[in-house]
Amino acid sequence: MKTKFAMVFAAGLAAAACASTANQGAVDPNASSGITSTAIPGSEQDFVEQTGERVFFELDSYALRSDGRAALERQAAWLQQYPDVEVLVAGNCDERGTREYNLALGARRANAARDYLVSLGVSPSRITTISYGKERPLDPRSNEEAWALNRNAHTQIVSGAVS
């Protein structure tokens, strides 16, 4: 539930930023107003911005790619900086493949990400995993671009973040 509160708060910040720029008549807050919203260090938004919350996989694979390892290294560094934070790593798949197979594959992806975080010194007690299989696609379309996005392990903060 803390996740939800944090998300609402982040959305609130964005809305505030928009409101302040609207007063100055700017359309794009980042382009023309000179006002940018910066995530509070240690917040969920900070984690997302600093680390990249998702690592991506090849078709039918749960092997970490080099860009995925780099993202997990950033996640591990961030998590060591904020030792009270606990995370959930969700494994996701593209829509190709059967439902049950994708549940099993999603679990592999979540655990591949988890294992790498643990190898980098994050305590296993701070990480839980879940597989959503292909049931929670990020991009609903049925094309290569969407499928590439939907094959991921998604690290989400569940507690301990600064809000």
Partner 1 sequence: MMRLVVRVMAGLAFALAAFAPALAQEEIRITQGELRARPISVPDFIGPDEASRALGADIAGVIINDLESSGWFDASDPASHIQQISDIDVQPRFADWRLIGSEALVAGSVEVLSSGDVRVAFRLWNVQTQSQMAGLRFETTRDNWRRVAHQVADRVYERLLGDEGYFDTRIVYIHESGPKTNPVTRLAIMDQDGANPEFLTNGDYMVLLPTFSPTAQQIAYVSFRDMRPTTYLFDIETGREERLFEISPEAESYSARFSPDGQSIVTTVSQGGNSDIHVFNLSTRRLTRITNEPSLEAEPSFDPTGRRIVFRSNRAGESSSHLYTMNVDGTDVRRLTFGQGIYGTPVWSPRGDYIAFTNQSRGQFRLGVIRPDGTGERIITQNFKIDRPTWSPNGRVLMFSVEYPGSQIRKEIRTIDVTGRNERVLNTPGNASDPAWSPLLR
Give me 131's structure tokens. 């597989």
Least separation in angstroms between CB 109 and partner 1: 8
Of 61 and 119, nearer to partner 1 (C-beta) is 61
Of 33 and 134, nearer to partner 1 (C-beta) is 134
Least separation in angstroms between CB 68 and partner 1: 15
Crossing angle (nearest 10°) for helices 66-81 and 99-119: 60
Tell me the β-bridge partners of 146.
Answer: none
Query: Between residue 90 and residue 119, which ones bind partner 1 under the rule CB under 8 A?
Result: 95-101, 103-105, 107-112, 114-115
Residue with token string 């959503």: 132
Which of 8, 11, 31, 138 is the binder for partner 1 (CB under 8 A)? 138
Exposed / middle / buried, residue 158 (Cβ in 10 Å: 0-12, 13-18, 19+): middle
**How far apart (Å, rounded) are the C-alpha atoms in residues 20 and 57?**
40
Query: Between residue 52 and residue 71, which ones bind partner 1 under the rule CB under 8 A?
Result: 60-62
**Contacts to partner 1 by CB under 8 A:** 60-62, 95-101, 103-105, 107-112, 114-115, 128-131, 133, 135-142
